[in-house]
A = this chain, B = another copy of it.
Amino acid sequence: MATQAAFLARLPQLALLQQPGGGDRATAPVRVRVPGAVVSQGTKAVAVAAKATARRGVRCQASLIEPDGGRLVDLVAPEEGGRRAALRREAAALPHRVRLGRVDKEWVHVLSEGWASPLRGFMREAEFLQALHFNAIRGEDGRMVNMSVPIVLALGDAQRRAIQADGATRVALVDERDRPIAILSDCTGIARTVVALYWDISITVYVGRYQSIRCINTLFPSFSSIEIYKHNKEERIARTWGTTAPGLPYADEAITNAGDWLIGGDLEVIEPIKYNDGLDQYRLSPAQLREEFARRNADAVFAFQLRNPVHNGHALLMTDTRRRLLEMGYKNPVLLLHPLGGFTKADDVPLSWRMKQHEKVLEAGVLNPESTVVAIFPSPMHYAGPTEVQWHAKARINAGANFYIVGRDPAGMGHPAEKRDLYDADHGKKVLSMAPGLERLNILPFKVAAYDTKQKKMDFFDPSRKDDFLFISGTKMRTLAKNRESPPDGFMCPGGWKVLVEYYDSLVPSEGSSKLREPVAA
C-alpha cells in the first residue's frame, strides 16, 4: 500500500477515501445530499442534486452532462433502514439461486452503480435485441440511448425449467462461495408501467384484435416480470464481434460455456461490490466521480479509456487536449484517466501493475494531478472494437464526461484465426462519431503519436518527415520490457518503465519451457 498511498496523496479526490479503517464504508458510493442545489450556468458551478428517494437513483442537475435517461441508476440497497439485512435474509431463503461467474459479478458491479444507466438490471429480450441490432435502446422517454454490448446473465436449462415451473419472480444471485450478491426480480417501479402503457397504446390502436393482449406479452413481456429467453450464442457473438472465429477472449471466458438461456430482470444489489485487492479505493462510482468533478469545479471532463501502460505519447495527447479545451474557453477541464478494471485477456498487463505504472507517471509529473482524476472502470473487456468503443464512451457520459478521446483501433485486437487486425483501425472512431445515443458526447479523434528520433521525445506524427519517427506498438513495448531492454529515451518515464520490467520479471517461466507463463488477468 506504500506506493498506493503516495499515489493517493497526489490525488486529492482519493485522499478522502483513504482514511484508515475506512474499509467498506470509505469506498461505499457517496450519497450526494445537496437538496435543492441550484446550478449556476454562468459561474459554471457544478452541483449534484439530492438522490431521488421515490425511485432508486441519483438525479444530477449540474452543468455536467446529464446521465443517459436523465437519472443516474443506483441499484445498491441503502445502508439505512435494514434493507441490506432484509435482502440478505431473503436471498438466503429464496429457492432459486444463480451463481455468478467472474464476468457476471463485474456486470452486477457495472449495473449497480449506473454505468449502464438507464438499465436497471440484466437485459430482458427487448433490450438484448435492440443492443444486438441497433447498438442502442429506446429509453423510457422514447429517445434512443446508446447500448452496444449485451449485458446479460446466462442460465442452464435445468435451472431455467425449475424457475419457470415455479413461476418464480425473485431469484438470488450468489458468488462463487454461495454468498448472496443481489436479487433479480420483476420491476417494482412505476416507470415500467409507463413504458408498458406506451407500447400498449402504440400497438393496440392499430392492431385491434390482432393479439392486442398477446402483443404485449409477446413483444414486451419484459416490462413487468423477470424474463427467460434463448441464448443464441452464435448470433450474439456474430453481431457483437463481426466474426464467429473461435478464440475471442470474452466469448471463451463468458459465452461459449455459458448456459443456453438468458435471464433478465431488475436488480437490487445487497451492498457495494468490492474486490479486496487493495484497489477498491480507486473504484469510484459514476456518482462519486461526478461529485469529484463538481468539487473541482470542472467545466469540462475529458475521458481517456485505457487498458495498457501509459507512455509519453498518451500523456502528450492528454496534456494537449487540456490545452485545447482551455483555448476553447473552458476554465477548468479535468481529465478522467480511466483504466479498465474488469476481465482482460491473458497477455494484457494486469490491472494492479498498470495502476502502479500509472502512479509512477503521475509521480513523474508527466500528467498534472491537479487536473487529473484516476479511477478504475469496472467493466469487463470485450475486444469488440467499433461495437465496444461505444460502450466505453457511453459509460463515461454517465460518469460525467462530455469529451471522449478516441484513438486508432480502440478496443481492437488481432483476428483470433487470421493474421490481421480484427477491425479496420479507423472504424472505431467513425462508428463512434455516428452512433445513435452519443450525439451529446464530443468525440476527440487524435493524431498518432510516435517517437521522434530527432527531438528524442514522443510527438504527434508529422508525415512531412516520416522517416524521423519510430512507431512503438504495444507488442513491441511488451517485448522490450520482457527482455529487459530499454525503450528510447523519452518514450516513457523511467519509473513507469521499471514497473513494466518488474511485472515481466515476476512471471516465472513454466516448467520445461522458455516461454513466459501466461499472467493471470487482473
Give the chain B neighbours of A424 by CB distance below 8 A: 230, 232
Residues 420-454 of chain A: 1 if any B CB is under 8 Å from the residue's CB, otherwise 0? Answer: 00011011011101111000001111110000000
Q: Say how far A70's CB is from chain B's closest CB, in angstroms.
A: 20
CA–CA, A60 and B203, complex, Å: 27
Let me know if B433 and A211 touch, CB within 8 A. Answer: no
CB < 8 Å: which of B215, B230, B436 contacts A436? B436
Let me know if B133 and A211 touch, CB within 8 A. Answer: no
Residues 184-207 of chain A: 1 if any B CB is under 8 Å from the residue's CB, otherwise 0? Answer: 000000000000000000010011
Give how many A residues have a beta carbon under 8 Å from the other chain's beta carbons: 57
CA–CA, A327 and B208, complex, Å: 9
Instruction: Indicate whether A239 reaches chain B with its CB closer than 8 angstroms.
Output: yes
Let me know if A235 and B243 touch, CB within 8 A. Answer: yes
Known contacts A235-B242, A244-B244; is-contact A436 B136 (Cβ 8 Å) = yes
Instruction: Indicate whether A84 reaches chain B with its CB closer than 8 angstroms.
Output: no
Residue among A210, A232, A442, A443 with most chain B CB within 10 A: A210
Q: Say how far A419's CB is from chain B's closest CB, in angstroms.
A: 14
Give the chain B neighbours of A447 by CB distance below 8 A: 210-211, 214
Known contacts A433-B203, A434-B126, A436-B134; is-contact A210 B446 (Cβ 8 Å) = yes
Known contacts A207-B445, A238-B239, A327-B208; is-contact A430 B126 (Cβ 8 Å) = yes
Give the chain B neighbours of A239 by CB distance below 8 A: 238-239, 242
Q: Say how far A437's CB is from chain B's closest CB, in angstroms.
A: 10
Instruction: Indicate whether A398 reaches chain B with its CB closer than 8 angstroms.
Output: no
Instruction: Indicate whether A497 reaches chain B with its CB closer than 8 angstroms.
Output: no
Give the chain B neighbours of A430 by CB distance below 8 A: 125-126, 129, 218-219
Instruction: Indicate whether A234 reaches chain B with its CB closer than 8 angstroms.
Output: yes
Residues 228-242 of chain A: 1 if any B CB is under 8 Å from the residue's CB, otherwise 0? Answer: 001010110011011
By beta carbon, the residue of chain B nearest A386 is B133
CB < 8 Å: which of B130, B208, B211, B435 contacts A434? B130
Instruction: Indicate whether A112 reaches chain B with its CB closer than 8 angstroms.
Output: no
Let me know if A215 and B133 touch, CB within 8 A. Answer: no
CA–CA, A148 and B135, complex, Å: 13
Give the chain B neighbours of A328 by CB distance below 8 A: 206, 208
Instruction: Indicate whether A63 reaches chain B with its CB closer than 8 angstroms.
Output: no
Instruction: Indicate whether A138 reaches chain B with its CB closer than 8 angstroms.
Output: yes
By beta carbon, the residue of chain B nearest A142 is B439
By beta carbon, the residue of chain B nearest A420 is B232
Instruction: Indicate whether A456 reaches chain B with its CB closer than 8 angstroms.
Output: no
CA–CA, A430 and B429, complex, Å: 30
CA–CA, A210 and B323, complex, Å: 12
Which chain A residues (387-445) contact chain B, with CB distance < 8 Å? 387, 403, 423-424, 426-427, 429-431, 433-436, 442-445
CB < 8 Å: which of B210, B431, B436, B444 contacts A144? B436
Q: Say how far A414's CB is from chain B's closest CB, in angstroms.
A: 14
CB < 8 Å: which of B138, B207, B435 contacts A134? B435
Residues 109-152 of chain A: 1 if any B CB is under 8 Å from the residue's CB, otherwise 0? Answer: 00000000000000001100110111110100000100010000
Instruction: Indicate whether A102 reaches chain B with its CB closer than 8 angstroms.
Output: no
By beta carbon, the residue of chain B nearest A385 is B235
Give the chain B neighbours of A126 by CB distance below 8 A: 430, 434
Q: 20 more A-B contacts (CB under 8 A) besides A210-B446, A232-B424, A235-B242?
A: A126-B434, A133-B148, A134-B434, A134-B435, A138-B434, A206-B442, A210-B445, A210-B447, A211-B446, A211-B447, A214-B447, A215-B445, A218-B426, A218-B445, A219-B430, A235-B243, A235-B423, A238-B242, A239-B239, A436-B436
* A-B residue pairs, 4 tightest by C-beta: A235-B242, A238-B238, A206-B442, A208-B324
28 sampled A-B residue pairs with Cβ under 8 A: A129-B431, A129-B434, A132-B242, A133-B135, A133-B386, A133-B435, A134-B434, A134-B436, A144-B436, A206-B403, A206-B444, A208-B328, A209-B324, A210-B445, A210-B447, A215-B445, A218-B426, A218-B430, A219-B445, A230-B424, A234-B243, A234-B245, A235-B242, A235-B423, A238-B238, A238-B239, A238-B244, A243-B244
